[in-house]
Amino acid sequence: MKSVNATADSRTRKIDPHLIDCEKNVKNLTLQIKSNQLQDGRLKKIFLIGNPNSGKTTLFNALTGLHQKTANYPGVTVERREGKALLQQSHSTGSSNKTVCRSTNEPLQQEVIIIDLPGIYSLSSLSLDEEITTRHIMGFYDGTLPDAIVLVVDANNLERNLYLATQILDLEFPAIIALTMNDLAEKRGFSVKKELLSKQLGGIQILEIQAQKSQKKGIDALKAELSKKLIEPEKISLPSFLWLCEKEDFQHSSGDITTLPDKLQSWSSKLKLEKYIQSTSDLSEKRKKALTTFFMLELLSDSGIEKFFTIPQSELSGFHNEIINFKGALQNSYKLDPFSFESTKRYQWISSIIKTCCAYTETSRKAVTEKLDALLTHKIAGLVIFAAIMFLMFQSIFLWASYPMEIIDASVGAGGEFIKNTLPEGLLRSLLVDGIIAGVGSVLVFIPQIGILFFFLGLLEDSGYLARAAFIMDRVMRKAGLQGRSFIPLLSSFACAIPGIMATRTIPSFADRLTTIMVAPLMICSARLPVYTILIAAFIPNIPLLGLFSLQGVTLALLYFAGIAGALAVAKLFKVTKLRGEPALFVMEMPPFRAPSLKLAIFNAYERIIMFLRSAGSIILACSVLLWFLASFPGETVQTSFAGMIGRAIEPVIKPLGFNWEIGIALLASFAAREVFVSSLATIYNLQDAGEQGTTLIEILKVKFAAGEIPLAAGVSLMVFYIYACQCMSTLAVVKRETGSWKWVLFMFGYMTGLAYVMAFIVHSLVKNIL
């Protein structure tokens, strides 16, 4: 018993930090829950619910257009999409291509909020996605139940999609089934008799939807039906699968002849479940019954639903004891395995429905995907194609993006120059040029890389290749405690960690995603190259090695290698310590191949750029102004500024690494962007040796190196420091955006700085004492 309590407890505690805000919401809004009746002025809420890859997001885009906002759920990496749509009752039935008339005088128009919930396979609450979706449906998110639900059902995977759909239909919500990708299913020889299916599912409306921009179909009809639904929700009476259980010959060994649904009801009232489900207070008896039956089923099948309830400590052990008793009763009297019986029976029931209302004729269509798959995941050909695609993608963000980036740089430079020439010298000019314009520049400069990467990712995901890429790389990445889907984000991080970290949103597991985000900045990004070019040229002699290589080239390669090795080690370490206990699965659906949509890929890139500008952009700009302030006040030059003071103050700390205070200031300044190190160190040294203005940093460093002022050990130590140190505020801003919490930002900054310090210290002492 104790152990059951303990596991339940630890699980609750594990997930809770991410969902603290939900909990708060639930508590704060208890009063509001009391009136489940719609208040005037509140927009009605419609949920889109469906399996992953069911076409949910495409439908969401078609319904809301650009009137949508994307954010994260508080504290977690799961994305929240919400948008507004205008519903209108139209007289056209079935599919219609007519555009909706947007006349504001139309009395039947209604604005509603559409919420695209995370794609899930069932209502159990074991994964974060499931938990968020289920909390929304059950009124445990903000205390309100949905006004209507659109169940997005992929015709290609009818059986599996109906599993979730019927789970929700059992709860008696006003709902409509949006049948997606029916054309694709028909091409594969699978046809659905919609009327028959609707009849089998208690009369629910089934609308065929084609949400792709080029050939929209059924969207207006769906809007019209939703609008009707909101006015008078019709009753659906679905013959729940539980009644199917009844038909089977239950052995009531104890002589108890209570039916299973009635039994579940009596158990739930024994547990006083109703008082935990506050959103039910104003519901009809029938709905209450449906909800409590659902919760009882979930409690019996270990699906983690108990974390929704706040059970007083004193009642906790009694609660768990009762559940164990009920499970025993289910096993003994009803001969049902509590863990699996719902899934097994429900799938049997769905399978029998499908047999009656779907037809399948074999076609050659399926063979195409099979053949393509055989090639693309082939031992040799598959790897070659994979390498080629990855090379193309990397090349594009590393090299092609550099042209627009140069243009942005030049324009920002010209803008600064213009202001320099128009405004008189002074604080305002300095703020505008070195603070704000430089800050805007450092935000804009990321746009090409983000845009190109997400354009590619959009194509890869839409075509179905992204899943294959993860499939190919999983074994290799797993050795490091990561998974197949971590590969592309980490590869992209060699160009820049910003798009790389943003690309981790294709990783479904929270633990895997967080680990990938945490190690992504350890990959040597292109912003480090200017620093390394200077340092290597100054400290490493250009000696040929084995005729083919040079010592300088080998040094650079070693730095890349050290970055990768560090990332792998850190990922492994995270896996066995901090993030253990959330076992990550690699159960990944492999969608059939299809021609990717160019429009969708462009939209994807656009959306990510906007999201970056909106949330990370402001933080980067603010940091840039802050750094400007630190470097300009008080006094004229960087040495006399706050930055200079801090640089001097930290000298004792960085001395063991071989750094002097000049380097300290440059390190601080380069927090804006790593390449700033070069210009700030040059400025500092140039100011010192006023006579030798205009000498490049390489020359200065070479002189200092020859004079023994900066020994080799310090130079190498600096290179190592730059591998591991988190010298990039933009990365931290994006981590804040992606994880939704400052906690992980601080964690990343802390561990990377610590790692950089230790590694630089070790290398410094080694080089100093050995060479």
Partner 1 sequence: MNQTSFNSLKTLDKCSLGEECHIITLQGKNKLLCKKLLSMGLVSGTVVKVISRAPFGCPLKIEALGYQLSLRLSEAEEIEVAV
Q: Which is nearer to partner 1, 140 or 190 (CB)?
A: 190
| Alpha-carbon separation of residue 654 from 660, 704, 708, 719 (angstroms) | 7, 18, 18, 14
Rounding to the nearest 10 degrees, give the CA dihedral for residues 729, 730, 732, 736: 140
Spatial CA neighbour of 89 closest among 181, 222, 261: 222
Pick the stretch among 259-267, 582-590, 632-640, 753-761 that binds partner 1 (CB under 8 A).
582-590
Pick the stretch among 86-94, 343-351, 594-602, 684-692 that binds partner 1 (CB under 8 A).
343-351
Residues with Cβ < 8 Å from 374, sequence gap 6 or more? none
Instruction: Based on the shown chain and the rule CB under 8 A, indicate whether residue 324 belongs to the binding site for partner 1.
Output: no
Pick from 92, 344, 395, 542 the residue near partner 1 by CB under 8 A. 344
Residues 624, 442 contacting (CB under 8 angstroms): yes
Q: Which is nearer to partner 1, 54 or 449 (CB)?
A: 54
User: DSSP string covering 178-214, please?
Assistant: EEESHHHHHHTTEEE-HHHHHHHTTT-EEEEEB-SGG
- Please count the residues of this chain forming the interface with partner 1, following the rule CB under 8 A: 47
Instruction: Based on the shown chain and the rule CB under 8 A, indicate whether residue 407 belongs to the binding site for partner 1.
Output: no
State which amino acid sits at residue 418: F
Pick from 159, 282, 417, 689 the residue near partner 1 by CB under 8 A. 159
CB of 122 to partner 1, least distance (A): 3
Residues 175, 167 contacting (CB under 8 angstroms): no
Site for partner 1 in 99-128 (CB under 8 A): 121-122, 124, 126-127
Site for partner 1 in 292-321 (CB under 8 A): 301-303
DSSP single-letter state for residue 217: B
Instruction: Based on the shown chain and the rule CB under 8 A, indicate whether residue 512 belongs to the binding site for partner 1.
Output: no
User: DSSP string covering 695-729, please?
Assistant: --HHHHHHHHHHTTSS-HHHHHHHHHHHHHS---H
Instruction: Based on the shown chain and the rule CB under 8 A, indicate whether residue 163 belongs to the binding site for partner 1.
Output: yes
Pick from 339, 603, 606, 761 the residue near partner 1 by CB under 8 A. 339
CB of 367 to partner 1, least distance (A): 13
Instruction: Based on the shown chain and the rule CB under 8 A, indicate whether residue 54 belongs to the binding site for partner 1.
Output: no
Instruction: Based on the shown chain and the rule CB under 8 A, indicate whether residue 348 belongs to the binding site for partner 1.
Output: yes
CB of 587 to partner 1, least distance (A): 6
Q: Helix, strand or coil for residue 252?
A: coil
CB of 388 to partner 1, least distance (A): 14
65 class by beta-carbon count within 10 Å (0-12 exposed, 13-18 middle, 19+ buried): exposed
347 class by beta-carbon count within 10 Å (0-12 exposed, 13-18 middle, 19+ buried): middle
Task: Return the structure tokens found at 352.
Answer: 């029998």
Pick from 10, 97, 310, 340 the residue near partner 1 by CB under 8 A. 340
User: DSSP string covering 611-623, please?
Assistant: HIIIIIHHHHHHH
Instruction: Based on the shown chain and the rule CB under 8 A, indicate whether residue 365 belongs to the binding site for partner 1.
Output: no
Instruction: Based on the shown chain and the rule CB under 8 A, indicate whether residue 724 belongs to the binding site for partner 1.
Output: no
Instruction: Based on the shown chain and the rule CB under 8 A, indicate whether residue 241 belongs to the binding site for partner 1.
Output: no
Instruction: Based on the shown chain and the rule CB under 8 A, indicate whether residue 588 belongs to the binding site for partner 1.
Output: yes
Residues 499, 449 contacting (CB under 8 angstroms): yes
Residues 303, 127 contacting (CB under 8 angstroms): no
Q: Which is nearer to partner 1, 237 or 351 (CB)?
A: 351
Buried b (16+ CB within 10 A) or exposed e, 190-206: bebebeebeebbbebbb
Instruction: Based on the shown chain and the rule CB under 8 A, indicate whether residue 385 belongs to the binding site for partner 1.
Output: no
Instruction: Based on the shown chain and the rule CB under 8 A, indicate whether residue 144 belongs to the binding site for partner 1.
Output: no
Q: Which is nearer to partner 1, 360 or 561 (CB)?
A: 360
Pick from 474, 512, 662, 738 the residue near partner 1 by CB under 8 A. 474
What is the H or E stretch that residue 110 is in?
A: strand 110-116
CB of 349 to partner 1, least distance (A): 11
Q: Which residue has the tokens 């191949």?
A: 593
CB of 237 to partner 1, least distance (A): 24
Instruction: Based on the shown chain and the rule CB under 8 A, indicate whether residue 10 belongs to the binding site for partner 1.
Output: no
Pick the stretch among 470-478, 552-560, 622-630, 742-750 that binds partner 1 (CB under 8 A).
470-478
> 658 in the Ramachandran plot: left (φ > 0), alpha (ψ -120 to 50) or beta?
left
Q: How many CB atoms lie within 10 A of CB 653?
A: 11
State which amino acid sits at residue 25: N
Residues 51, 157 contacting (CB under 8 angstroms): yes
Instruction: Based on the shown chain and the rule CB under 8 A, indicate whether residue 476 belongs to the binding site for partner 1.
Output: yes
Q: Which is nearer to partner 1, 25 or 509 (CB)?
A: 509
CB of 166 to partner 1, least distance (A): 12
Pick the stretch among 234-242, 426-434, 473-481, 682-690 that binds partner 1 (CB under 8 A).
473-481
Pick the stretch among 27-35, 160-168, 316-324, 404-412 that binds partner 1 (CB under 8 A).
160-168
Instruction: Based on the shown chain and the rule CB under 8 A, indicate whether residue 590 belongs to the binding site for partner 1.
Output: yes
Instruction: Based on the shown chain and the rule CB under 8 A, indicate whether residue 157 belongs to the binding site for partner 1.
Output: yes
Binding site for partner 1 (CB under 8 A): 121-122, 124, 126-127, 156-157, 159-160, 163-164, 190, 301-303, 339-340, 343-344, 347-348, 370, 373-374, 377-380, 382-383, 467, 470-472, 474-476, 478, 484, 583, 585-590, 592
